[in-house]
């Protein structure tokens, strides 16, 4: 099995604002297939740390698939946070010629169709995946795009010039509204609702600080935009180390059983505790990248992600700790228990979304999809 992480060379660093840098990596030929990505996805980066060895952080891709030219590249955009060790380390230290250890792209914050009409909300550095989606939809799709972009002040606007140029180049398709706290104050839920009201039929994407996302999502709910057309990106600082030194092939062949499953007791997605029967294997059907995988031997003590890896299926993941949404899957039939969940809310769970890295079967048949 191919390695799960790569040492990528930095070939360019652009200071987008005094607090935000775009880092472009060269993708080696042997890694090109693993770094095929969809707009809105992210990379997990290993930042050296004297205390923990590695600080793993997720940063959204701001580049667009296919815009790299002659050589394959990927670009993330990193904004400093006041107490953020990793973001400050990257902005202060990383330059062309350096290398960083990176996991392949992950994430589900991505449009189902580039031809769909989109309503995009960004707050601060939340514009990073929004920029990737905008660039890609304009170059490869046909839909209408409206962007609401909130910032503290004019100096804080990342990609200000490019957004202006894109709007000028696509006057009939791209409409960008800038909201500056220094001029207009913080946007209210009522103002966000009024802004979104003309776009009820569009797919909405929201990324930014937690209060901004919460308020925007609440406004979209008030407008009764269905859950299937509301998307928000959530990042949590990863507590574990997804870059562990165990070779990928060994991990796949000998997956560790979760502690709760070993004891025969698991915490369900609702927080209840249930006892599982380890005797009978589960029938599993999974759709991934347009391909259906069917297994009749899913062990109830093994997570969904571990089972797929053991069977040679390259399922997406990042943290393996239930702290990000990279491995999120949607249940079609059956039910699973999750040992840990720091990212899915009650609405996500009600919509059938589960974390494959934490999911063990509680029914005899489970059907799920990564789309």
pLDDT 10s digits, 101-121: 998 898 888 999 999 999 999
Same domain, residue pair 132 and 227: yes
pLDDT at 370 over 60: yes
Q: Grade residue 319 by pLDDT with cuts at 50, 70 and 90.
A: confident
pLDDT at 223 over 80: yes
Same domain, residue pair 157 and 202: yes
In a domain, 224, yes or no: yes
pLDDT 10s digits, 250-286: 333 333 333 333 233 333 333 333 333 445 899 999 9
In a domain, 266, yes or no: yes
Q: Retrieve residue 340's tokens.
A: 């840990």
CATH number of the domain where residue 182 is located: 3.40.50.80
Domain final residue, candidates 106, 141, 156: 106
**Confidence at residue 275, expressed as pLDDT on a 0 to 100 scale:** 35
**Confidence at residue 54, expressed as pLDDT on a 0 to 100 scale:** 83
Domain final residue, candidates 106, 128, 146: 106
Q: Give the residue-averaged pLDDT of 310-322.
A: 83
Same domain, residue pair 123 and 59: no
Task: Please tell me the total count of domains within the chain.
Answer: 3
Same domain, residue pair 365 and 267: yes
Same domain, residue pair 262 and 353: yes
Same domain, residue pair 302 and 340: yes
Contact 108, 367 (CB under 8 A): no
Same domain, residue pair 255 and 362: yes
CATH number of the domain where residue 47 is located: 2.40.30.10
What contacts 12, CB < 8 A, 6 or more positions away?
22, 23, 24, 96
In a domain, 254, yes or no: yes
pLDDT 10s digits, 168-188: 999 999 999 999 999 999 999
In a domain, 113, yes or no: no
Q: How far from 164 is each of 63, 64, 167, 169, CA to CA, in Å? A: 17, 17, 5, 9
pLDDT at 303 over 60: yes
In a domain, 241, yes or no: no
Q: How far apart are CA 259 and CA 101, in angstroms?
A: 29
Q: Grade residue 245 by pLDDT with cuts at 50, 70 and 90.
A: low
**Confidence at residue 239, expressed as pLDDT on a 0 to 100 scale:** 56
Q: Retrieve residue 282's tokens.
A: 């589960």
pLDDT 10s digits, 273-283: 333 344 589 99
pLDDT 10s digits, 50-79: 776 788 888 999 999 976 555 799 999 999
Same domain, residue pair 226 and 171: yes
Domain enclosing residue 147, as ranges: 118-232
**Confidence at residue 344, expressed as pLDDT on a 0 to 100 scale:** 86
In a domain, 198, yes or no: yes
Q: How far apart are CA 64 and CA 22, in angstroms?
A: 13
Same domain, residue pair 19 and 85: yes
Q: How far apart are CA 336 and CA 313, in angstroms?
A: 19
In a domain, 240, yes or no: no
Question: Which range has the top average pLDDT, 143-157, 237-251, 328-342, 348-362?
Answer: 143-157
Same domain, residue pair 316 and 227: no
């Amino acid at each position: 099995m191919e390695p799960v992480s790569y040492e990528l060379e930095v070939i360019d660093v652009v200071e987008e604002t005094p607090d935000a840098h775009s880092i472009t990596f060269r993708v080696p030929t042997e890694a090109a297939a693993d770094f095929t990505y969809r707009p809105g996805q992210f990379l997990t980066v290993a930042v050296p740390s004297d205390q923990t060895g590695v600080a793993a952080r997720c940063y959204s891709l701001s580049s667009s698939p296919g815009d790299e030219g002659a050589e394959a590249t990927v670009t993330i955009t990193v904004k400093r946070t006041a107490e953020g060790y990793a973001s400050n380390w990257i902005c202060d230290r990383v330059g062309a010629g350096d290398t960083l250890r990176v996991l392949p792209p992950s994430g589900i914050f991505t449009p189902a169709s580039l031809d769909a009409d989109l309503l995009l909300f960004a707050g601060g550095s939340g514009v990073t995946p929004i920029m990737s989606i905008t660039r890609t939809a304009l170059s490869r799709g046909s839909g209408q795009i409206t962007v609401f972009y909130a910032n503290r002040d004019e100096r804080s606007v990342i990609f200000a010039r490019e957004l202006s140029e894109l709007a000028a180049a696509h006057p009939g398709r791209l409409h960008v509204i800038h909201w500056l706290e220094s001029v207009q104050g913080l946007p209210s839920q009522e103002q966000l609702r009024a802004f979104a009201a003309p776009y009820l039929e569009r797919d909405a994407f929201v990324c930014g600080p937690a209060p901004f996302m919460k308020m925007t999502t609440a406004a979209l709910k008030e407008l009764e935009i269905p859950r299937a057309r509301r998307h928000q990106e959530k990042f949590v600082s990863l507590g574990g180390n997804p870059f562990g030194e165990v070779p990928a092939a060994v991990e796949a062949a000998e997956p560790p059983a979760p502690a709760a499953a070993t004891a025969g007791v698991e915490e369900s997605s609702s927080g209840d505790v249930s006892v599982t029967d380890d005797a009978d294997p589960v029938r599993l059907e999974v759709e991934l990248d347009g391909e259906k995988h069917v297994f009749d031997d899913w062990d109830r003590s093994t997570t969904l992600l571990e089972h797929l890896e053991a069977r040679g299926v390259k399922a997406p993941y990042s943290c393996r700790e239930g702290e990000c949404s990279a491995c999120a899957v949607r249940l079609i039939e059956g039910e699973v228990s999750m040992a840990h969940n720091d990212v899915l809310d009650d609405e996500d769970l009600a919509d059938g979304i589960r974390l494959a890295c934490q999911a063990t079967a509680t029914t005899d048949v489970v059907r799920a999809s990564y789309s």
